Amino acid sequence: MMLSGLLALLMAMVLIFMRRSYPRHLRRGLGLLASAPLLWCLSTVLFGLRGHLPELFSVVLANEILMGGVLAYHVGNQLFFTGRARWKGWTAAVLACLPLMAWFTWVTPSYDVRLALFTSVMGTLFLTQMAFMLRQPTSFSQTVVVLVLGLQSTVLGARLISVFLGQAGEGLMEPGLMQLAYLCGNAVSILMLTVGSVLCATERLRIEFEHLATHDTLTQALTRRAVLRRAEEELARLRRQGDPFSLMMLDLDHFKAINDQFGHQQGDAALIDFTERTQRMLRQTDLLGRYGGEEFLVLLPGTDAATALGVAERVRQAQPTPPALGCTVSIGVATAVDASESIDGLLARADQALYRAKHEGRNCVRQG
């Protein structure tokens, strides 16, 4: 148990150093996740010194610190995954255990009552945390944490049942199968939950880097490279199955005038507004990307020419028109129906159609 506590302590130090190197918006909750194993290790030391320290430290505070560590872990995960946490009710419950633990240690000594109180609070906390983690996106780290929480909840449930059966024993260190199962489960949980936190933090950073590599930082549309990569996949599907797909080239009309007249901040706002309006008009399978400057690209998987023109017209009509501040849009559409097509050729046709739309008065859709 002391060895697992030491390993968890080392993993907590890893989390602390990781937090220092993470971007500010990714740090939420990491401080609490790092503090949880520190509290668990402290409580382990206090439990281990039972008989050498007053019961205030080795019983009351040891149990309270252990529950505080689980609470810190729960709140830290909420902040890490969602950016918000419900902590007031649980904090009040954990603090309320302090005078109760003291009462049943000195005033009316009862190991069974203390154990029932402790396992009830801890078990409920673990189950609440497991339910929260099950609502998060499935990943290896999330699965590890859920399994460990489930294991520890099971052990705590069995320990609570032993209280009602009168088989709880006389103390934590008393030899017995249930005590051994609890101590081993607690040791494994401390280590594996800390490892799970490190895995979650690492995975979050990987996801962030992948997002930055595939999304435009201003508009949050996909990058040109990401859309074209998906277009290559659609072309391969066309060659295998014969499914058509379409590309739309979009260019904001008179965008330079907005920058020149109102400044680049308003220009950025116009790009963001365009992206949001366009995204609302697209289907779930369609992909919007920023091609460069005020030019955008839309990939329409499994879409023939007639359907693509309908989507393009919806996008065009969704944009603001004078005197509203913003830009109309000119759109060129090209559809791939032949296995001999290439992405460069499809882009060239869409670009030529876009040029005609610009030349013929802007704010219109043309097919290439």
Average pLDDT rounded to a whole number, residues 220-224: 93
| Residue ranges of domains in the chain, CATH in brackets | 2-214 (1.20.1070), 222-367 (3.30.70.270)
Q: Is the predicted pLDDT of residue 97 greater than 90, yes or no?
A: yes
pLDDT at 176: 57
Pick the closest to residue 18 from 255, 208, 153, 192 (CA basis).
208
Q: Is the predicted pLDDT of residue 77 greater than 90, yes or no?
A: yes
Q: Is the predicted pLDDT of residue 216 greater than 60, yes or no?
A: yes
pLDDT at 306: 94
Tell me: the pLDDT tens digits for 230-260?
A: 999 999 999 999 899 999 999 999 888 888 8
User: Average pLDDT over the chain, rounded to whole?
Assistant: 88
Pick the closest to residue 176 from 158, 189, 153, 193 (CA basis).
158
Distance CA 229, CA 66 (A): 50
Distance CA 78, CA 125 (A): 13
Percent with pLDDT over 70 in the chain: 93
Average pLDDT rounded to a whole number, residues 197-221: 88
pLDDT at 287: 96
Q: Is the predicted pLDDT of residue 351 greater than 90, yes or no?
A: yes
Q: How far is CA 151 from CA 31, 86, 144, 170, 192, in A?
A: 25, 24, 11, 24, 11
**Beta partners for 225?**
none
Tell me: the pLDDT tens digits for 30-68?
A: 999 999 988 988 888 888 788 888 989 988 999 999 999
pLDDT at 71: 95
Tell me: the pLDDT tens digits for 269-328?
A: 999 999 999 999 999 999 999 998 899 999 999 999 999 999 999 999 999 876 566 789
Pick the closest to residue 129 from 72, 204, 63 (CA basis).
72
Residue 339: φ, ψ to 5°: -65, -15
Tell me: the pLDDT tens digits for 171-184?
A: 555 555 666 666 67
The number of CA neighbours under 13 Å toward the Cβ of 69 is 27
Asked if 286 and 348 count as a contact pair (C-beta separation under 8 A), the reply is: no
**In sequence order, which ranges of 135-254 are alpha helices (DSSP H)?**
140-164, 177-214, 224-241
SS3 319: coil
Distance CA 75, CA 69 (A): 10
For residues 284-313, one letter each, b for 16 or more C-beta atoms within 10 angstroms of the residue's C-beta and e for the rest, the string is eebbbbbbeebbbbbbbbebebeebbebbe
| Global pTM exceeds 0.95 | no
Distance CA 240, CA 242 (A): 6
